[in-house]
Amino acid sequence: MPDQPLRVALFSGNYNYVTDGAAVALNHLVAHLERQGIEAIVFSPTADPPAFEPAGTLVSVPSIGFPGRSEYRVALGLPRAQRRRLEAFRPTLFHLSAPDLLGYAARGLARRWRVPLVASFHTRYDTYFRYYHMAWLESGVTRYLRHFYRPCEHVYVPSESTAQVLRDQGMARDVRIWSRGVDADRFNPGRRDLEWRRALGFGDAEPVVAFVGRLVLEKGIDSFARTVAGLRQCGAAHRVLVVGDGPERVRFREQLPEDAVFTGHLGGDALARAYASSDLFLNPSVTETFGIVTLEAMAAGLPAVCADATGSRSLVAHGESGFLVRPDDDAGYIDAVRRLIADPALRADMGAAAHELSRRYTWDTVIDALVEQYREVLDRHRMDVVGGAPEGAGRRGVLVDDAALT
């Protein structure tokens, strides 16, 4: 089998119709591939207007709004026209980024066409049901995810803490790290803007506690609101800044003090200014696999108080750059934030440490590492085909028997 160039077909549940951490990472990936002369094509649901212009070639697939969360789309598979477009592209690697119908269809095609298959794990979908009174579904979803990911040569996760969870669950044969990066030219303490703070009604010396993210239950907004209520009860003077939008905005607004400031969605330099103009960052989410918002806050020089869970556990140095709190410990969140509010010197020291830690993460470095792992898969696949590996040979083979995965 002659050497083949790397040509990547990426299948995404959301590439650019909503701005979230997964979409940002995937667009950085495709842009980086193209700068390196590596061809890529993306298949994903789309919306009009998109949240931002996509990197690379984006092929729209049919989709419907997700029930109760219409801002997200559910792909309806890979119809014939899109399949012909994929076949004409002649991919040498399939990359799945969501365990949906589109991903499942692509998974089947990769196995039939004998194209090596990898996946990235962006969200702990199985944990979402805890927030919608359907926790009984969690074990079934975990079984499905295990079935979905097991045929993949590699499954990439953004943090070691998430990797360990997947290994413990037997989620995949080979779990690898594809970390995340941050644009240090954009997200840095120099973006702090006192005039902007004053325009929002914040005093120069008032500690501002920031929340950044989608306003949905699984981002821990109830925990955030309980923490703020506890701070008010103990007399810890502070203000609240909420950056983001989503279906739970009204509920969240009602839970917070009247003087809390909601900016709506911000991006680019406006988002960087909002981070740097705050004083500390609170992220109680347990569904993150990495926590790009936490990394951005750290780059802006904010100490972070986060759930001691996947993602944040790999970013925050407890007691050095912020605090990690047991997810169900409301008193722990209140105490950690109160300490930072009461001690400006501690805030400054932890913020400086957070900024220094963030310097480890650059997009070029982490994506170069991923491309090397792509090439490892391609080389191994080439050796297996030349060596005549039998069908159903597992991790080193090109086909896997579904019966062995249940």
Domain CATH code at residue 304: 3.40.50.2000
Any domain includes 145: yes
Distance, CA of 181 to CA of 179 (rounded, Å): 7
Pair (326, 366) in one structural domain: no
Number of domains in the chain: 2
Any domain includes 300: yes
Any domain includes 24: yes
Decide which of 342, 358, 374 is a domain's last residue.
358
Distance, CA of 164 to CA of 18 (rounded, Å): 29
Give me 83's structure tokens.
């399949």
Pair (140, 285) in one structural domain: no
For 286, list phi and psi in degrees, rounded to 5. Answer: -110, 5
Any domain includes 60: yes
Query: What pTM value is reported for the model?
Result: 0.79
Pair (348, 287) in one structural domain: yes
**3-state secondary structure at position 130:** helix
Distance, CA of 251 to CA of 176 (rounded, Å): 38
Task: Going residue by residue through the chain, which has 406 residues, state the pLDDT in tens, using 9 for 90 and above.
Answer: 456 799 999 999 999 999 888 999 999 999 999 999 999 999 999 999 999 999 999 999 999 998 777 788 999 999 999 999 999 999 999 999 999 999 999 999 999 999 999 999 987 655 655 565 566 577 888 899 999 999 999 999 998 888 998 999 898 989 999 999 999 999 999 999 999 999 999 999 999 999 999 999 989 999 999 999 999 999 999 999 999 999 999 999 999 999 999 999 999 999 999 999 999 999 999 988 788 999 999 999 999 999 999 889 989 999 999 999 999 999 999 999 999 999 999 999 999 999 999 999 999 999 999 999 999 999 998 887 665 544 333 333 333 333 333 3
Distance, CA of 107 to CA of 87 (rounded, Å): 14
Pair (222, 351) in one structural domain: yes
Give me 302's structure tokens.
């904010």
Which residue range forms the structural domain that includes residue 367? 7-181+362-405
Nearest to 181 by CA among 25, 285, 310, 287: 25
Pair (136, 281) in one structural domain: no
Other beta carbons within 10 angstroms of residue 198's beta carbon come to 12
Pair (145, 117) in one structural domain: yes
Any domain includes 292: yes
Pair (33, 142) in one structural domain: yes
Other beta carbons within 10 angstroms of residue 361's beta carbon come to 19
Pair (226, 338) in one structural domain: yes
Please tell me what DSSP assigns to residue 73: E
Any domain includes 1: no
Q: Which amino acid is at 358?
A: S
Any domain includes 132: yes
